[in-house]
Amino acid sequence: MTIAVIGAGAAGMTAALSASRRGAKVVLLEQHPRAGRKLLATGNGRCNLMNASDPAGRYFGGGADAAVGLLRRYTYERLRDHWESLGLICREERDGRVYPASGRAASVVDVLRSRVSGAGVELTTGRAVTDILREPGGFAVRFDGGEVRADRVVIATGGKAAVNDGDATGYALLGRLGVPVTELSPALAPIRVEPSDIRGLKGVRVRAALTLARGGKEIASEMGEILFSDGYVSGIAAMGLARHVTRGDGRAVGDDRPRELRVDLMPERSADEWRRWFESRVYASGESAQDVLRGLVHPGIARRLLAAVHADATSAAIDAPWGGIGRMLRDWRLRVTGVGGFRDAQATAGGAGLEAFDGETLECKAVPGLFAAGETLDIDGACGGFNLMWAWASGIAAGEAAAR
């Protein structure tokens, strides 16, 4: 039996290795010059492999429930054993995030490349697949400069995120085979805000609670690090809300109701408690308003908060509107204008509808012998290793089922 796996990324290499281990002849096709290229950049070069937390509520898209169901079988413990069997030791860190013990994404890529090669997988790189044709008893997979015939095909080309490294051809290939593909949008992307709302904050990092609101209605919330740049708010908390900017409440992307990003910088006390704390300091000192805030928030953020309540940073603290500043610490509102594009995103929302596939084997119901895995499917996960965790689990499931 010959299996053609299209895409040598996280899901593709895993599917190829899993199928080969079950005795199948595997041909792995990759359009980029080297396999696993996108993996090298994940987790800021550390590769957040997976997450030890419960996957429930951590997946989105039409296939979210099915993804959680699959991960009930391919559990964190099972995936960790899988990696150790390949020779990669994992280490759990804060919030259940799991990284290679080496702290290097390159270790993950090196292990996968080595094991794929050792399993006898025939890897062809630098060749983009242009078409998949159904034939009696199998498929003809056409690529730049050649063709391969296979009994079964696994499409694992990834999404449109990080377009320099991503390979979105899988959507077109599936579409031509009659598999419905939903609208695509960036997920885990920076949120674009009015530049004047965060002017002077480029490079500032803070830990905060973020809430996305549209037309005064709260849509979703996240807690974690945020990073300010020119006209964008990124970091784990902001990027986790990006999918809701474009898809979150069922409204069209062009919905013109005002959108806000509400920043809670200091959840330890209520706004009124902060007011009283400020006033207790003010009356006992001759500090300026900026001085009072110096030990509490970044100086740049202090200037933005004071400007928002029309207070002069250098004026006497006793004259500052501390009630308004206390409210700003708990509810600083930034005007949202959109999200970053696919180039800046870490995942893709949308894809091939999972209802067209068997939930356990990931085989296409209408095209027997055709499988899909990873980000090609309409599933995207939260920050923290959940997207790669889906890639490993779905790659194993599709690879093993294709080889059975």
Q: What is the 3-state secondary structure (H, E, C) of 77-131?
A: HHHHHHHHHHCCCEEECHHHEEEECCCCHHHHHHHHHHHHHHCCCEEEECCCEEE
Please check whether residues 13 and 138 belong to one and the same domain: yes
Please check whether residues 299 and 311 belong to one and the same domain: yes
What residue type is 130 in one-letter code? T
Instruction: Tell whether the model's pLDDT for residue 257 goes beyond 70.
Output: no
Domain contains 6: yes
Q: What is the DSSP letter of 232?
A: E
Domain that holds residue 175: 2-186+347-403
Please check whether residues 200 and 279 belong to one and the same domain: no
The answer to whether 262 and 213 are in contact (CB under 8 A) is: yes
- Which tokens in the block code for residue 19? 């199928």
Give the C-alpha separation, 138 to 155, whole Å: 14
Please check whether residues 16 and 81 belong to one and the same domain: yes
User: What is the reported pLDDT for 285?
Assistant: 63
The answer to whether 365 and 324 are in contact (CB under 8 A) is: no
Which residues, 6 or more positions from 171, have their beta carbon under 8 angstroms from its beta carbon?
Answer: 181, 184, 351, 352, 376
User: What is the reported pLDDT for 136?
Assistant: 92
Instruction: Tell whether the model's pLDDT for residue 392 goes beyond 50.
Output: yes
Give the C-alpha separation, 366 to 66, whole Å: 18
Please check whether residues 203 and 110 belong to one and the same domain: no
Please check whether residues 305 and 207 belong to one and the same domain: no
Reduce the DSSP state of residue 200 to 3 states and report it: coil
Give the C-alpha separation, 91 to 158, whole Å: 26
286-326 pLDDT, tens per residue?
Answer: 788 888 898 899 999 999 999 989 888 787 888 889 999 99
Give the C-alpha separation, 5 to 158, whole Å: 12
| Total structural domains within the chain | 3
Which residues, 6 or more positions from 20, have their beta carbon under 8 angstroms from its beta carbon?
Answer: 26, 116, 119, 120, 121, 403
Beta bridge partners of 232: 192, 229
Instruction: Tell whether the model's pLDDT for residue 252 goes beyond 50.
Output: no
Residue 140 binned pLDDT confidence (cut-offs 50, 70, 90) = very high
Instruction: Tell whether the model's pLDDT for residue 168 goes beyond 90.
Output: no
Residue 262 binned pLDDT confidence (cut-offs 50, 70, 90) = very high
Please check whether residues 168 and 254 belong to one and the same domain: no
The more confidently predicted of residues 258 and 167 is: 258
What mean pLDDT is reported for the chain?
91
Please check whether residues 122 and 170 belong to one and the same domain: yes
Which residue has 């809300």 as its token pair? Answer: 241
User: What is the reported pLDDT for 390?
Assistant: 97
Instruction: Tell whether the model's pLDDT for residue 29 goes beyond 50.
Output: yes
Please check whether residues 45 and 121 belong to one and the same domain: yes
